[in-house]
Amino acid sequence: MTLRNLPAPFLRRERTVSTMMADALFALALLLILPTVQYGPRALLQSLAAMAACAVCDILYGLVFRHAFGSGDPSALVTGLTVSLLLPVNTPYWLGALAGAFAILIAKAPFGSTGRNLFNPAAAGVAFVTVCRPDLVFTYADPAAGWLPLSGDCAAVTAASPGASLHAGLKPSILPLDLLWGMYPGPMGCTAALVLGAAALFLLARRCIRPESIACFLLTAALAAALFPRIACPALTSVKYELLTGSLLFCAVFLLGDPVTSPRTTVGRCLFGVLAGGLLMAMRHTGSFEQAACFAVLIADAFAPVLDHAAIRLRAKGVRLP
Amino acid sequence: MITSLRGYRTEDRRALSLREPILTLPASGTLVVPLPGAEEGTARLVRPGDKLAAGQRLSLPRRSAPAHAPAAGVAEEIEFREMAVCGPVWTVRLRTGGERRASPLRPLPDRPEDEDVLRAAADAGIFDEMTGRPLFQELYRLRRLGAGLLLACAVEDDPWCSSACAVLREDPEKVERGLRLAAVACGGAQIGAAVSTRREEAALRRARPGLRVEVAGRRYPARAFLLRRLRAAGVSAGLIGPQALCALADAADGLPQTSGVITVSGDGVKAPRNVRAANGTPARALLEACGVSEDVSLVYAGPAWRGSALTDPDAPLPLHARCLTAMLHAERRRQSACIGCGRCGRVCPQGILPWQIHESLRGEKVEPYLLLNVQSCIGCAACTAVCPSGLPLSAEVSRAAAIRKSGDFL
Amino acid sequence: MKETARELRAVFGNGFLFYNPVLTAALSLYPAAVCASLSQALPVSLLLLVQSLLAGLVLWAVGSRLPDWLRPGVVFAVSAVCWIPAALLAERAWPGSLSLLGAAASLQIANSMVLSRLNEYAPTHILPAVAADVLGCTLGTGVLLSLQAALRGWLASGSVWGETGAQAPFAGALGSAPAKPFFGFLVLGVLAAAVQALNARRARRVGKRRVSRL
């Protein structure tokens, strides 16, 4: 028998980084079901294109700069799938691939890959393509028009999303509660609020994401929506519209709940959620894009280490913070 | 805010090894007996070539317990070597053979005083398997701290080890006798037993009605949580291993401690059970007594949290090794960067944030006042066990504690 | 003498690359945001170079005699005065370029990199060192400005000089993003990461343990 010399403790870890990434992939894959049913296999091909671009960039970067095969865990695939779910189905395949490549090569790899990145790579990738080609990113296919062709540039019947109507100051033509089912134009994975809720519960139960930042973010966004509605309607209707349109829920669960880029202290995470919520609602009121969640997430990510520092220093002074 | 949900829930694999009674392995072949604390030449009482009798004293260290020969034979070699669980220690290689027995030690009087019990524990060379230290030092420490309750500790804190439970189950009356003697040594403390589960508590109450039983639960580190709970209730408690208590009861009759109960288990062992083996038995003898498969890739001695991996199957084990576990698949611990999941902070029983210590130590300049709470680390290594990135957090926290203690940060 | 020459080379190298103020201290980012082609970056680089050299000389001469509370104001005034000949030279070299830049050109009086070097280094060091530092910092800044401007000009309009009429490569993918300031910051960020990696490798060779912090 050949015996190995390993250090203590000799226990099987119940969670490794790879299993947590697998959980995240599963939750994201749940969100692919509805778009595939609505728009056809093009949704799957979009995801594959983005994931392939991320994986290739990760592997190449690892081979060239660190003499390793990629970063050692499937986080690049998670980034690719997240990026594709934030973009519409009818975009050309190279858009998702460009966003994925930017996410890995600029927002993740130079900072040190998994665990060391300051900004959420998926948010950075989507933000980049939003600034480059907002016309492509904000043109959504009408789900009532049936399945989309699989070729690269697809001429789809487009429709305005409820987010665009709100941005223009008009009441969306869809009832607020119908927004739950996800049968309206919008980014691929951001429309089905019920499936998002199920995915969030799954990830919370597996402890892959932390609830404090998500809860504070949603509360702040709801409060801002109630106090400063963009359209003339009761406060509750405004809250329902604001929370259920756009990529707010998706970004709350998958981008803000990301343990690497959010602060590590509980107090820091709560403030992080509040900051992101405030920024997002401000951008929705005054910004030029109808979906601004990725930008809000990026700015809040930049403040995450500051919040952690402040919490640790307060704790060192003796203030009992959770 | 240390809530009761801290700690790490371990799996319970003790049932298999507890099915059979303790197997006594006769001392044969070559034993490598450790002589702890015998760094001075005058502390080692044997020379190569000496004929030894069973129970003969081999060492007389100043600050540790003496060692006794587990069997009659010839001392082949006296050497300083690394031994599992003991570390670097002087050892006697004993080739067994013959039937000579040494004269027994001085037995205890009928009503012993505390000094008598301490002397008997020291003379018999008893080691407390829970702490790895000599029993007389542990009793002295508990007496100094004014312990009001002494518990026979059958709380294993290891998924596979069941040696303490087996000893308690085999002869609870002897354990209680040892407890009473230990209580005398500690200045008249109360006695009781500590177990992990309610089922064990019921079984023990049936066997020894009238003995106080405390249930510690299955969240690691269960012993630390039990002591904290008792302290919160105003009881200063001490935990002593049942094997040491049985040896104390034997020492009252003049018998030195020369053997220990070791659990041989793991998924690489076909018939896991508890084995009573002589001090210094090679691991191979224990494994073969229980049928080890040829495909094992990891064998470790001691509890999973702080044991040591054996690379040589013939490595000898001391009597306080507690368990020997053979696993078919060793998990390759690959390190990556901290992902900020926060599990280490949630699991720590002392309220330390190991991720924050890791961040502080990663930079060039360490700010010692930011290493919060590190002196209270009890070394349970639960943080290292739960970390998904495989970081050696327990080692980093002890490094931080050393930095803080050194005062060398101006 | 040899040590002085080596030290001067080190000062120049630090200012030019290893501790370049633009990349390691995030100074002088406004020109990086504004200059989107070489026709804008080169005049600004020449302006900064001449302005800093002249101001550095003046401050080397008088700086150590100034009280601390007066120094920032004097530095600002000297920088403004030295801006005038520098702007005239740049205008002579590339006619019309500075007036096209408008306020961005005149705001270089208050360029953060220039002011910081003049405040912290020039008054308290010997003349060769001041010259090496100023040259290194401004040449490094100029090279970086020009690099990112050339890239952005080429991506935005197909020609590094920013002339219209050429076909912009990747126009379908990038749209109008290269002309926006954030693109300049992105390019500088990647270069900053590269320089930090270079510094880490140098430190490892020297034997020092260096961990880059964010």
How does pLDDT run across B52-81, given as a tens digit for each residue? 999 999 999 988 999 999 999 999 999 999
Which tokens in the block code for residue A146?
Answer: 């049936």
Question: How far off is chain B from C206, nearest CA to CA, in Å?
Answer: 16
Q: Which of C196, C209, C213 to mutate to test the interface with B (most CBs of B within 10 A)?
A: C213
Residue A116 pLDDT greater than 60, yes or no: yes
> What residues of C are in contact with residue A132 (Cβ under 8 Å)?
173-177
DSSP track, chain C: -HHHHHHHHHHHHIIIIIT-HHHHS--SHHHHHH--SHHHHHHHHHHHHHHHHHHHHHHHHHGGGS-TTTHHHHHHHHHHHHHHHHHHHHHHHSTTHHHHHTHHHHGGGG-HHHHHHHHHTGGGS-HHHHHHHHHHHHHHHHHHHHHHHHHHHHHHHSSTT--TTSPPTTHHHHTTGGGSHHHHHHHHHHHHHHHHHHHHHHHHHHT-------
> What residues of C are in contact with residue A133 (Cβ under 8 Å)?
173-175
> What residues of C are in contact with residue A118 (Cβ under 8 Å)?
214
Residue B151 pLDDT greater than 90, yes or no: yes
A260 inside 8 A of chain C by CB: no
CB pair distance less than 8 Å for A113 and B385:
no
pLDDT in tens, B94-105: 999 888 898 888
> What residues of C are in contact with residue B364 (Cβ under 8 Å)?
209-211
Calculate mean pLDDT across residues A6-25. 86
Residue whose C-alpha is closest to residue B61's, from B129, B113, B137:
B137
pLDDT of residue B9: 83
CB pair distance less than 8 Å for A106 and C175:
no
Describe the crossing of helices B163-170 and B172-185 by its angle, rounded to 10 degrees: 100
CB pair distance less than 8 Å for C209 and B362:
no
DSSP single-letter state for residue B348: -
* % pLDDT > 90, chain B: 60
Calculate mean pLDDT across residues A165-170. 85
> What residues of C are in contact with residue A95 (Cβ under 8 Å)?
173
* % pLDDT > 70, chain B: 98
Q: What is the largest CA-CA distance in chain A?
A: 77
pLDDT of residue C2: 72
Three-state SS at B406: helix
Rg of chain C (C-alpha set): 18
Distance, CA of C206 to CA of A36 (rounded, Å):
56
Q: Locate tokens 């202290």: which residue?
A: A265
CB pair distance less than 8 Å for C189 and A106:
yes
> What residues of A are in contact with residue C180 (Cβ under 8 Å)?
131
Q: Which of C23, C152, C176, C213 to mutate to test the interface with A (most CBs of A within 10 A)?
A: C176
Question: How far off is chain C from B364, nearest CA to CA, in Å?
Answer: 6
Describe the crossing of helices A75-86 and A42-61 by its angle, rounded to 10 degrees: 140
Question: How far off is chain A from C172, nearest CA to CA, in Å?
Answer: 8
* % pLDDT > 70, chain A: 99
Q: How many CB atoms lie within 10 A of CB B205?
A: 15
B220 inside 8 A of chain A by CB: no
CB pair distance less than 8 Å for C189 and A98:
no
Q: How many CB pairs under 8 A join A and B?
A: 122
Three-state SS at B32: strand
Residue of B nearest to A73 (CA): B336
CB pair distance less than 8 Å for B334 and A13:
no
Calculate mean pLDDT across residues B296-310. 90
pLDDT in tens, B372-393: 788 889 888 889 988 999 899 9
Residue of C nearest to B363 (CA): C211
pLDDT of residue A221: 95
Residue B410 pLDDT greater than 70, yes or no: no
- Residue B5 binned pLDDT confidence (cut-offs 50, 70, 90): low
Q: Is the peptide bond before A322 cis (omega within 30 degrees of 0)?
A: no
Partner-chain residue, chosen from A94, A131, A133, that has the shortest CB–CB distance to C182: A131
Distance, CA of B158 to CA of B321 (rounded, Å):
13
Residue by residue, what is the 3-state secondary structure of chain A?
Answer: CCCCCCCCCCCCCCCCHHHHHHHHHHHHHHCCHHHHHHHCCHHHHHHHHHHHHHHHHHHHHHHHHHCCCCCCCCHHHHHHHHHHHHCCCCCCHHHHHHHHHHHHHHHHHHHCCCCCCCCCHHHHHHHHHHHHCHHHHCCEECHHHCCCCCCCCCCCCEECCHHHHHHCCCCCCCCHHHHHCCCCCCCCCCCCHHHHHHHHHHHHHCCCCCHHHHHHHHHHHHHHHHHCCCCCCCHHHHHHHHHHCCCHHHHHHHHCCCCCCCCCCHHHHHHHHHHHHHHHHHHHHHCCCCCCHHHHHHHHHHHHHHHHHHHHHHHHCCCCCC
Average pLDDT, chain B: 90
Q: Which of B220, B380, B389 to mutate to test the interface with A (most CBs of A within 10 A)?
A: B389
pLDDT of residue B1: 38
CB pair distance less than 8 Å for A305 and C214:
yes
Any chains having at least 3 CB pairs less than 8 A from chain A are B, C
> What residues of A are in contact with residue C214 (Cβ under 8 Å)?
111, 118, 305
Q: How many CB atoms lie within 10 A of CB C195?
A: 18
Within 277-316 of A, beta carbons closer than 8 Å to C belong to 305
> What residues of B are in contact with residue A114 (Cβ under 8 Å)?
336-337, 339
CB pair distance less than 8 Å for A111 and C174:
no
Q: Which of B364, B365, B366, B367 to mutate to test the interface with C (most CBs of C within 10 A)?
A: B364
Find all residues with CB under 8 Å of A3, minimum gap 6, and list them: B296, B297, B298, B299, B309, B310, B311, B312, B313
* % pLDDT > 90, chain A: 56
CB pair distance less than 8 Å for B340 and A115:
yes
Can you list the residues of chain C whose pLDDT is less than 50?
213-214
pLDDT of residue A148: 84
CB pair distance less than 8 Å for A132 and C177:
yes
B386 inside 8 A of chain A by CB: yes
A160 inside 8 A of chain C by CB: no
Under the phi-then-psi rule, with left for phi > 0, alpha for psi from -120 to 50, and beta for the rest, what region is A113?
A: left
Residue whose C-alpha is closest to residue C84's, from C100, C68, C98, C66:
C98
pTM (two decimals): 0.85
pLDDT in tens, B235-257: 999 999 999 999 999 999 999 99
> What residues of A are in contact with residue B302 (Cβ under 8 Å)?
8
Q: How far apart are the first and last CA of chain C?
A: 38
Label residue A69 exposed, middle or buried (CB < 10 Å: 0-12, 13-18, 19+): exposed
Residue B2 pLDDT greater than 50, yes or no: no
Residue of A nearest to B268 (CA): A1
Within 194-213 of C, beta carbons closer than 8 Å to B belong to 209-211, 213
pLDDT of residue C214: 42
pLDDT in tens, B28-41: 899 999 999 998 88
Q: How many CB atoms lie within 10 A of CB B218?
A: 18
Average pLDDT, chain A: 90
Which tokens in the block code for residue B294?
Answer: 């040829």
Q: Are C15 and C133 in contact (CB under 8 A)?
A: yes
pLDDT of residue C65: 86
